[in-house]
Chain A
Amino acid sequence: MSYAAPVAAPFAFVVSDPTDDEAGLVERAQARDTHAFELLYRTHVRRVYAVCLRMVANVRQAEELTQRAFVTAWEKLPLFRRESAFSSWLHRVAVNTVLADLRAEQRRTRRVFGTEDPAAFETPPPAPPAGVRLDLEAAIAALPTQARAVFVLHDVEGWRHDEIAAELGVAVGTTKAQLHRARKLLQEALQ
């Protein structure tokens, strides 16, 4: 997985008017101006895509979740009260989109495999070949799904355990255990 920018998005033709400050764009997008919303997309897509990619470790899935997050943001924009920064609100929408997808995936797996034990249906992290040292991004990508989500939200994005637990619908003790497990696995992978 690479976080380099292989292709620049072709958006030179939608460079914003200097008077288009973000609050104005948000207001226009709330009034259903798709052009204003596109400018907001161009401004924020890299941040949204980064968190999606890091949480799911799959380029195609991250692209779909990024698109879904922006469509959801468009639908919910009329409800955005501007009490927080738009970027924070959008980030929350993106994370909720990813977590909803992870939960749906878990429910599907549970139906198929008939287990309540999340660890039982997580893909075990692939072991790197002997002598190969993973970089941190690759090691995060190789974490089990739940542990990766908790690690990214807590250690990379700076969320608190109670926030993560609320979003994941689990107890704080569970998110702490997942975080400790993720750190341990990362340390082992990076040794």
Chain B
Amino acid sequence: MNCSDRSAQLHGYLDGELSAADARAFETHLARCENCRRELAALRALRAATTSLAREAAPARDLWPEISAKVARRAPAPLARGSGRSALRYFMPLAAAAAIAVGIILADRNTVSSGPWWNVASLDGAPRVDAQVIRGTGQMRVGQWLETDRASRAKVEVGAIGQVNVEPNSRLRLVDASATDHRLELARGEMHALIWAPPRLFFVNTPSATAIDLGCAYTLKVDDRGAGELRVTAGYVALEHDGRESIIPAGQACLTRRGAGPGTPFAADASDALRRALERFDFENRAQRSDALAAVLAATRPDDYVTLWHLLARAEPAHRGEVFDALAKDHPAPEGVTRAGIVAGDAAMRRAWADALGLASFPAQAKR
């Protein structure tokens, strides 16, 4: 071995990462190698200079006013549900709801509150609210349906918290227009939502799941059978149905099926093989789920960590270890997260891993 092969050892020695035996062997080499001694001295000098770097730096301008404007508007993040047994689990959602309510009361009413109707504008063709054609702008009251034919598109102002663009051949109902529950029902068709309110103020019911806005932009489609497809372009969306929940961050998509609820999220650029395997795993014969899971694991890439993370909870306990291994291969489990814990269904460990994966904004613990 020549000295150029010893670079890793040199750094390992400097960082105290070599075993005692390897360190001794390297010291023996050092004693007779001037190149390595010189290199080690240079690395030590660099380290000494690094440790003297300032740990604090004042920004050139005061950053607080913009932070203040944001924190004054934002309610506390929703808590992980179904994890932990502390009193917080029960009280914090109430506190969050109260804080949202207080925030709404304190905020400028023009910025958050919404009346008993929302404004609708025609973008193309002749959209209708109930039977009445909207020309230019109109209104949509709670209980009324907005329908677009194949040549029509419309824009709906979601109170003052966002907007929804409705594509052709869609059918949409205003379910609730209260300050804490802005809710639409998408019976069929396609809509694009852009919401700038705090999380969990805007909801869209579909025949197979409810989409819960967590501060985001997304597209939601529902076909004639009630099956849905969600694509998130910014922020996060939760899909819920009958206690089953998926969390979909930007760049990811998720399918929903009537009776089954949301499937497992996948990257918008995931392979066809992965999508097909996930459909089998999520929606087809339960007896063949382990085969479908094997196909999913075979088709995942390092970028499919959102999919794998959801499967940590959704795979049967007997197969969770395989999911752990697949995720840990490219995204090592953080300290304190163990294979045994994940197999046992430890929600706190799943949450810790989500944080380590950069899914720090995952506001809720995805459920099976």
Contact = CB atoms under 8 A, between A and B. Distances in A.
**A and B associate:** yes
Interface of A: 3, 5-11, 32, 34, 37-38, 41-42, 45-47, 49-50, 53-54, 59, 62-63, 66-67, 70-72, 74-79, 93, 96-97, 99-100, 103, 107, 111, 136-137, 155-156, 161-163, 165-167, 169-172, 176, 179-180, 183, 186-187, 190
B55 to A, nearest CB: 6
Contact of A6 (B60, B66, B76): B60
B360 A72 contact: yes
Contacts of B66: 67
Interface of B: 7-8, 11, 17, 42-43, 46-47, 49-50, 53-64, 66-68, 70-72, 74, 76-77, 79-80, 88, 92, 95-96, 99, 251, 269, 302, 305, 330-335, 355-358, 360-361
A71 B67 contact: yes
A110 to B, nearest CB: 9
Given A7-B60, A78-B79, A163-B334, 9 more contacts: A8-B58, A45-B58, A47-B55, A47-B56, A77-B76, A93-B360, A96-B358, A99-B358, A169-B330
B53 A63 contact: no
Given A3-B57, A100-B358, A187-B42, A79 B79 contact: yes
A124 to B, nearest CB: 21
Contacts of A180: 7-8, 11
Contacts of A96: 355, 358, 360
17 contacts: A6-B58, A7-B58, A7-B61, A9-B59, A34-B72, A37-B71, A59-B60, A63-B61, A71-B71, A76-B77, A107-B251, A156-B50, A165-B332, A166-B332, A176-B8, A176-B11, A186-B46
A79 B77 contact: yes
B53 A136 contact: yes
Query: Which 3 A-B pairs give the minimum distances between C-beta atoms?
Result: A5-B58, A46-B56, A50-B57
Pick from A11, A53, A107, A161 the residue with the most CB of B within 10 Å: A107
Contacts of B58: 5-9, 45-46, 49
Given A32-B99, A67-B63, A75 B53 contact: no
Nearest to B61: A7
B331 A166 contact: yes
Contacts, number: 148
A166 B335 contact: yes
Contact of B330 (A76, A78, A170): A170
B360 to A, nearest CB: 5
Contacts of B60: 6-7, 59
Contacts of A78: 76-77, 79, 88, 92, 95-96
A171 B331 CA distance: 7
Given A3-B54, A96-B358, A166-B332, A187 B59 contact: no
A140 B335 CA distance: 28
B70 A155 contact: no
A107 B333 CA distance: 21
A49 B61 CA distance: 11
A46 B72 CA distance: 22
A107 B302 CA distance: 12
Contacts of A47: 55-56
B54 to A, nearest CB: 5
B50 A155 contact: yes
Given A71-B74, A74-B74, A9 B11 contact: no
B57 A5 contact: yes
Given A49-B57, A183-B11, A71 B357 contact: no
A41 B64 contact: yes
B182 to A, nearest CB: 20
Given A75-B76, A169-B357, A183 B46 contact: yes
Contacts of B53: 54, 136-137, 156
Contacts of B330: 169-171
Contacts of B92: 78
Contacts of B96: 78
Contacts of A72: 360-361
Contacts of A41: 64, 67
A161 B367 CA distance: 31
B275 to A, nearest CB: 18
B93 to A, nearest CB: 10
Contacts of A165: 332
B268 to A, nearest CB: 10
